[in-house]
Amino acid sequence: MSPKGVEIVTSVGPKGSQTILRLTGPLNIHTVFEFQEVVRADASDVLIIDCTDVPYIDSAGLGALVGAYIGARRARRKFALAAANTQVKALIEMTQVNQLLPIYATVRDAEASIT
């Protein structure tokens, strides 16, 4: 991973139909295209974005998250954002995107809540 890069690790949730994308690094203008490519390739019933290791996102990253949510809704799939840090949550709340995106404190909470 380069200093400006993001690492994306895909795993299957405990219910089998859930995909968890664990992001490591910033989600910003330099990394959104890779994120969008991975999201578009996923066809699971449930997509959970694990932000445990995302130090920050910018407006492009926020737009990519909203785009992932809208794409999931159009495909009649479920979507969740999990484990966002204080900075990420502040941006999401400031822009009122928290009224759109389902956000969970932990990945485990998202896995348990979304069937």
The stretch 56-84 carries a mean pLDDT of: 97
- Average pLDDT over the chain, rounded to whole? 93
Q: Answer whether residue 47 is part of any domain.
A: yes
Q: Answer whether residue 54 is part of any domain.
A: yes
According to the model, what pLDDT value does residue 16 have?
75
Q: Is the pLDDT of residue 58 over 70?
A: yes
Tokens representing residue 17 in the block: 């139909």
Residue 33 neighbours by CB under 8 Å, 6+ apart = none
The residue segments making up the domain with residue 100 are 7-113
According to the model, what pLDDT value does residue 4 have?
65
- How many structural domains does the chain have? 1
Q: Answer whether residue 105 is part of any domain.
A: yes
For 114, what's the count of Cα atoms within 13 Å in the CB-facing half-sphere?
28
According to the model, what pLDDT value does residue 29 have?
97
Per the CB < 8 A criterion, the answer to whether 31 and 6 are in contact is yes
Q: Answer whether residue 1 is part of any domain.
A: no
The stretch 49-63 carries a mean pLDDT of: 97
Place of tokens 């993001």: 6
Round to whole Å and give the CA distance between 62 and 44.
22
Q: Answer whether residue 15 is part of any domain.
A: yes
Task: Calculate the CA 27 to chain-centre distance.
Answer: 10
CATH number at residue 52: 3.30.750.24
Q: Answer whether residue 77 is part of any domain.
A: yes
The stretch 1-12 carries a mean pLDDT of: 79
Which pTM was predicted?
Answer: 0.92
Q: Answer whether residue 71 is part of any domain.
A: yes
Q: Answer whether residue 64 is part of any domain.
A: yes
Q: Is the pLDDT of residue 2 over 80?
A: no
Q: Is the pLDDT of residue 1 over 60?
A: no
Residue 15 neighbours by CB under 8 Å, 6+ apart = 46, 111, 115
